[in-house]
Amino acid sequence: MRPSVSKRSFFSYILSLFATVIILGLPAQSVASAEDQTGQPALFIQGLADEAISVLRDQGGSLDEREKKFRAVLRDDFAMEKIGRFAAGKFWREMSDEQKTQYQTLFEEWILKTYSIRFGGYAGETVNVQKTIKAGQSDVFVRTQITNSNGRALKVDWRVRRIDDRLKIIDVVVEGVSMLVTQKAEFNAVLRQRGVDGLIDILRSQLDRMSAAKAS
């Protein structure tokens, strides 16, 4: 069977959850300013939600326009390079400079496209920030609870780290399961079977299918 990158992988799940957060936003009375986003992690997550909510609710804008806005959010608020390197694991060191560039470019685009198909997917969920939890010397988990319209609740911890003097999301832990660790295991399975070029080809192929589906 040809290896593939699962649609239930880390970024498929993280972006489903993130879509819920940014569709709903968090309490509007605590909107975070740019200065807040370099401060407390809870305010950072809240500010990110407030910043992105307009992207999903602006039905007047085209999908391309919303993707462009979200790309800026990804670039600024997710530690994309670190996430991509971690997901590649030990195989990162085996990549040539050209392969690293291709992989990171496709990786970010794959995340963007996976996310964009979820525009308009809000189904009555609510989100509450509960607390922050120190994680080692440099990271903080922002604990949230996402509750659907049927009352089912998920505990979701957003792992935040200060990088280059600003806070960025580096992982999401859902009910105790790290989605980044899950993604690393999936990517490494593909890398062991198909190598770096194989993973790059699969990401490119999935992006082509997403683009074809969007155009149809």
Which pLDDT does position 119 carry in this prediction? 55
Which pLDDT does position 110 carry in this prediction? 86
CB atoms within 10 A of CB 122: 14
Which pLDDT does position 93 carry in this prediction? 95
CA distance 190 to 149: 37
Contacts with 19 (C-beta within 8 Å, 6 or more apart), sequence order: 56, 115, 118, 119, 121, 122
pLDDT tens-digit map of 53-91? 555 556 666 767 767 777 777 777 889 899 999 999 999
Nearest to residue 181, comparing CAs of 111, 83, 100? 83
> With contact defined as beta carbons under 8 Å apart, do 23 and 70 qualify?
no
The pLDDT mean for the chain works out to: 75
Match domain 10-202 to its CATH number in 3.40.50.620, 3.10.450.710, 1.10.600.10, 3.40.50.300.
Answer: 3.10.450.710
Give the sheet arrangement for strand 177-178, strand by strand: 126-135, 139-147, 153-163, 166-174, 177-178
* Global pTM value: 0.73
Domain coordinates in residue numbering, the chain: 10-202
- pLDDT higher for 13 or 182? 182
C-alpha count within 13 angstroms, C-beta hemisphere, residue 184: 17
Torsion, Cα 136 140 141 144, to 10 degrees, reads 160
For the cut 80, the answer to whether the pLDDT of residue 33 exceeds it is no
CA distance 200 to 19: 26
Nearest to residue 127, comparing CAs of 96, 148, 98, 101? 148
- pLDDT higher for 108 or 76? 108
What's the distance, Cα to Cα, between the start and end of the chain in Å?
28
Positive or negative: CA dihedral 101, 102, 103, 105 = positive
pLDDT tens-digit map of 150-194? 888 888 888 999 998 888 999 888 888 888 898 899 999 999 999
Which pLDDT does position 212 carry in this prediction? 82
For the cut 60, the answer to whether the pLDDT of residue 196 exceeds it is yes
Which pLDDT does position 20 carry in this prediction? 45
Which pLDDT does position 30 carry in this prediction? 34
